[in-house]
Structure 1
Amino acid sequence: MRQTYRTDSPTGPREACRSLPCRPADARSTVRRVVAERCRTRAIPCDDDALDDVLLVTSELTTNALLHGGGITGFAVDVDGGGVSVSVSDRSDEVPVVEAPVDGQGRNRLGGRGWPIVCLLARDVSVAGLPRGGKRITAVVPLGRQR
């Protein structure tokens, strides 16, 4: 059985916020609720540390959409086969990149650690362009410890 929560909005950021998680905390709450509902069915094992990983990935994807992507335009969470798939869409066509933690002059950069965290914790990460512009990033995080 699949448990899915999905919402997409072609509208502007204010209208989208009426139906989308507009803050990382809203998205984490939605993921926590959907995962808890799925785990109650006992169809899949739910590991508390793995749930923490899913919540961190959710925070990073939504924060990056807000800071670098022009806002959240779509959000989905799907629990299936022992993994949680979190998808966040935004308005930017730019693919995330990993930057060195220090700049060319040896100074520490602020930020820039979210994308490596997502790539480390997820077993699968994909970035897809959207037909009307923007992108959707999907990360699949195992619910049971598989690392």
Structure 2
Amino acid sequence: MSDRNTIDPVVAQRDADRHRPCCPRRPADARRAVERAVTGRRDTGGGGSCDADAMPDAVSDAVLVASELTTNAILHGGGITDFRVEVEGFGVRLSVCDRSHDLPVAVPPTDERGRRRPGGRGWPIVCRLARDVRVADLPSGGKCITVLVPLS
């Protein structure tokens, strides 16, 4: 017997997912999201003085930070659980959440024997290019890193 007022849970979940911001699966997806956000802000004439054509290096910084944060979430954080990008005023605010409570760390470029290590440059890059870097524990588990990358 079927009740017309009953919503199929599968359909309800699919509708809820349609309105939830999707998480990038790869750093390339995050880079494109930042580029779209900055371009969209410029094209719609949104507030602030955010001109991507006048500041290609600044936009590149935001794209690089997004790439590093998402790469770290994938490699060290158990995967991306949420991703947000917003252009505000003279900057791009990025938030990347993952499943790990571990704080990001800078790894020395060489090991104890003096041999060069691969990787380990992402977090220092983020800290150099971004302002207002915040790491917060999430009530549901994991952490969220939020940064502001200036566009000027």
Which one of the candidate residues 89, 93, 99 is aligned to 1:91?
99
Aligned to 1:28: 31
How many angstroms apart in 1 are the aligned matches of 2:72 and 2:96? 10
2:113 counterpart of 1:110: no
Q: CA deviation at 1:31?
A: 1.1
Query: What's the TM-score once normalised by structure 1's chain length?
Result: 0.83
Moved over 2 A (4+): none
Relative contact order: is structure 1 or structure 2 higher (C-alpha 8 Å, sep ≥ 6)? 1
Native 8 Å contact 2:22 2:83 kept in 1: no
How many angstroms apart in 1 are the aligned matches of 2:23 and 2:39? 20
Which one of the candidate residues 86, 90, 105 is aligned to 1:82?
90
1:138 is paired with a residue of what secondary structure?
strand
What RMSD over aligned residues (CA atoms) do the two structures have, in Å? Answer: 1.6
Native 8 Å contact 2:41 2:50 kept in 1: no
Q: Which amino acid aligns with 1:112?
A: G
**Please, which runs of 5 or more residues in structure 1 have no aligned partner?**
1-14
2:98 counterpart of 1:100: no
Max Rg structure: 2
The size of the alignment, in residue pairs, is: 128
How many angstroms apart in 2 are the aligned matches of 1:35 and 1:136? 22
2:23 is paired with a residue of what secondary structure?
coil
Same amino acid, percent of matched pairs: 58
**Please, which runs of 5 or more residues in structure 2 have no aligned partner?**
1-16
Q: Of Structure 1 and Structure 2, which has the larger fraction of its residues in strand?
A: 1
